[in-house]
Structure 1
Amino acid sequence: MPPMPPVLMDELVEEVLLRLPPEDPASFVRSSAACKPWRRILAAPRFRRRYREFHGTPPVLGFFKEDARFVPTTSTSTFLPVQPRLPSIYSMDSRHGRALFADFRGEDSAELVVLEPITGHQRRVPLPDLLASNFSAAVLCTAQGCDHHGCQGGHSLVAFVSTDEDRRVTSACLCSPETGAWSRSTILNHPNVESDGATGVLSVLVGDALYFNIGGILKYQLGTRCLSIFGKPINSQGCLMTAGNGELGFAAVVDDATNLTLWSMETGSEGAMGWEKRWVIDLQTLLPDGALLIRLLEREISCSSSTVVSGFAEGTQVIFVSTFVGCYMVDLKSGRARKVSSYSETLYPYTSFYIPAMEVASTGQGQ
């Protein structure tokens, strides 16, 4: 009878388990079922902390559609994050392990809801008085020293911007969900801006500023609470993103709905800022065969919809492109694309490390 194989040291097992793919949370459950020592390692706070440090960037687990429905893009289908289930809930933003929704149950009771989908923890704050037909909001973690690799609990901040088309002004303010109190509004006059009726548009956080694609590109400096506006690189529907250099970026589908074009905001030698075209990708080579064929029918039936960039996962190189055939998740780094949903003009990607809770069958969990 052959001898039993040597038992791996816990330290070696932990090194192996650290390499479980973040985009496959079900692998943790399968591994924990292998034996009690493995389950003990996976359940330990030490492992969870090391796992986030080892992988760095949280994976895209899915996205919230405009109606707040969560669509998984990974094996989270078995372990769906908590999501609101009221018909009056609409998605507004997602960042740092949090999702932000607007609840319009009634004009006098409209609220913003900050939800941590992994834990189910939520806070509600009333909408500010500067609500108009053209508005958006954003949420971010403000916990001191947080690297945003595993944001759960801690302090957060909500920013709200609103454009009044009749008065030709834009207002912005901040709120801590812990207190529910809104700051004094910052007001910007811009008589020449063209409002597009956007609500719940995508935002992006770059440094200490939030940017909103609403009536132009709005910049809200969080530290100084200064508000400014500047033009987009192209007068077309597009999506704000972070460029490869860590600066503000913009993505749009142009040239007869076949080219995905990426811009980044550059600063010249004299301090002047402007858009620079960085990358043009032919969608016919990037998306699967047939993804753009329906576009031919668009001309025949005079439909206004087209291929659009419908979302960007902040902190990653993942964007979402919607065509008549469906919505495709595109990894710009690897060049891979796959269909994840039906057509959607706007979606809110959700990124987070998701290690399912496990009961430890033995003592000594480790720290």
Structure 2
Amino acid sequence: MSSRRRSSSAAPLEDENLLPEILLRLPPQPSSLPRASLVCKRWRSVASDPGFLRRFRIHHRRSPPLLGCFVQDDEHHAISFLPTSEPPNRVPPGRFSLQFKPGSRFTLLDCRHGLVLVLMSHEMRHQFVVWDPVTGDKRRLSYPPRFDPRTTLVNGAVLRAAGDAQHFQVVFLAARNYGIASAVACVYSSETGVWGNLVSVPISSESERGSAFDQILSVIAVSRQPAVLVGDSIYWILTCSSGILEFNFEMQSLAVIPMPNVNRDHFIKFIRADSGGLGFLDMSSFTVQLWERTTDCNGVAPWRLRRTIELAKLLPLNPKKDNIMIEAFAEENNMVFLSTLNNIYVLHLQSLELKKIPKTDSGSRYHPYESVYNADVGGEHGRAELFAQCIG
């Protein structure tokens, strides 16, 4: 009887279809599959199978760990990676790096769904580069028609549809002044290989003079802060207007929604709120307020204060010397990057768990990178040259 029980309990792991389903549900940490692959040859065969690895990434697409952040390094013509995890889940800094030829000008715009979006120019060529650091794949995209990158300030966002590990979309955002100051947006789909139709919305400046100079100011003031994705919409800040740009993917529409009524001298960072709606952080001195945009029974969407965080109770601060800035927000992990004079801290907005990471140059901008990465499983990432080759 006991031998039959042992035989039946071992049978499920011998099922060719069941083992992949079990491994698929391991945590999406970099060490999960490498550790599983050490159990036996059969487990290693499953864990290193390219088809299974694609399924693993898709399965955890909306719950990826925060691996670190990317930082633009103008001095060395490179985008470098700063890991935030501890061993054994720490990704080596040199594993994800992107180098550019001397003379190239580039701007790191966005990171989302395991992809990195870069705006690059070299020898009069201007293009977007969409880079997957895990696979090393890169795609170069020309500007949408009718836009001159030398005279138009642009921003952009990159994202993938849920469950899609291959295709992506890039949202192009620009401001222009052809009689009336306006913002325009356009979406590129890697599935079709073309840019979609332009959509636009007027932008009104806060200035009361309404001169041509003021209109120009409103045009060049689309924030270079990364966008935040909330539901079917993506949002940017307009720095010279009391508004927020909202691009809705389902409606393919662009709109300006009111800014929250807060002191504009404070630092504001838009985030995805705990409820899944649009929120923002309002920081003054060492206090952070979390606000959320809610819709009432009349369809009105006011901003409501949800929480206050006293940073002086969490961080080792010197009120006379330290100054705090909000550097970045990690959408999927609900974490915010805070910088002081000497350190960078990663704060989880719900648990208030805090982690310190090394600080780079004072002029750096941090772009959190959340992705599923499995190191040293079956040689999937063995071609290290893919991560360091120059873009030409």
* Fold shared by both chains (TM-score > 0.5): yes
d(CA) in 1 for partners of 2:187, 2:364: 27
Could you say if the C-alpha distance between residues 204 and 348 of structure 1 is closer, same or farther in structure 2, counting changes exceeding 3 Å? same
- 1:315 alignment partner, SS class: coil
CA deviation map 1:116-149 (0-9, x unaligned): 111011111123316456431001113xxx34xx
> How far did residue 232 of structure 1 move?
2.8
Could you say if the C-alpha distance between residues 93 and 218 of structure 1 is closer, same or farther in structure 2, counting changes exceeding 3 Å? same
1:89 maps to 106
Return 306-315 or 92-101, whichever deviates more. Answer: 306-315
1:240 maps to 270
Instruction: Answer whether contact 1:103 1:111 (CA < 8 A) is retained.
Output: yes
- 2:194 alignment partner, SS class: coil
1:365 maps to none
CA deviation map 1:180-229 (0-9, x unaligned): 53333222222224758455311111222111123331101223332111
1:337 maps to 354
> How far did residue 20 of structure 1 move?
5.9
Pair 1:224 & 2:251 matched: yes
d(CA) in 1 for partners of 2:174, 2:307: 32
- 2:327 alignment partner, SS class: strand
d(CA) in 2 for partners of 1:19, 1:219: 35
Pair 1:265 & 2:293 matched: yes
d(CA) in 2 for partners of 1:330, 1:58: 17
CA deviation map 1:3-51 (0-9, x unaligned): xxx999585696996786534x245435534643442343245587468
Pair 1:70 & 2:72 matched: no
d(CA) in 1 for partners of 2:62, 2:195: 33
Of the three residues 43, 50, 66, the one matched with 2:48 is 43
Pair 1:311 & 2:328 matched: yes
Pair 1:186 & 2:213 matched: no
Query: Is there any run of 5+ residues in structure 1 with no aligned partner, and where?
Result: 1-5, 299-305, 361-367
d(CA) in 2 for partners of 1:133, 1:282: 40
The one-letter code sitting in structure 1 at the alignment partner of 2:84 is: T
Structure 1 length as normaliser, TM-score?
Answer: 0.78
1:303 maps to none
The one-letter code sitting in structure 2 at the alignment partner of 1:276 is: R
Instruction: Answer whether contact 1:260 1:283 (CA < 8 A) is retained.
Output: yes
What RMSD over aligned residues (CA atoms) do the two structures have, in Å? 3.3
Q: How does 1:10-159 map to 2 (within 5 A)?
A: 22-23=28-29, 25-26=30-31, 28-33=33-38, 35-44=40-49, 45-46=51-52, 49=55, 53=59, 57-67=63-73, 68-74=79-85, 75-78=89-92, 81-86=95-100, 88-106=105-123, 108-128=124-144, 129=147, 131=149, 134-142=153-161, 146-147=162-163, 152-153=165-166, 155-159=167-171
> How far did residue 240 of structure 1 move?
1.5
d(CA) in 2 for partners of 1:253, 1:20: 38
1:358 maps to 377
Could you say if the C-alpha distance between residues 63 and 268 of structure 1 is closer, same or farther in structure 2, counting changes exceeding 3 Å? same
> How far did residue 82 of structure 1 move?
3.7
CA deviation map 1:297-355 (0-9, x unaligned): 36xxxxxxx42221111122211111212211111232211112315664221111112
2:229 maps to 205
> How far did residue 79 of structure 1 move?
7.5
CA deviation map 1:246-270 (0-9, x unaligned): 101111322x2x1121111111221
d(CA) in 2 for partners of 1:237, 1:312: 14
The one-letter code sitting in structure 1 at the alignment partner of 2:291 is: W
d(CA) in 2 for partners of 1:285, 1:12: 49
2:343 maps to 326
d(CA) in 1 for partners of 2:203, 2:259: 15
Pair 1:162 & 2:174 matched: yes
Query: Is there any run of 5+ residues in structure 2 with no aligned partner, and where?
Result: 1-5, 74-78, 207-216, 380-392
d(CA) in 2 for partners of 1:130, 1:265: 36
Pair 1:285 & 2:313 matched: yes
Structure 2 length as normaliser, TM-score?
Answer: 0.73
Instruction: Answer whether contact 2:64 2:371 (CA < 8 A) is retained.
Output: yes
Could you say if the C-alpha distance between residues 175 and 51 of structure 1 is closer, same or farther in structure 2, counting changes exceeding 3 Å? closer
Could you say if the C-alpha distance between residues 345 and 251 of structure 1 is closer, same or farther in structure 2, counting changes exceeding 3 Å? farther
1:364 maps to none
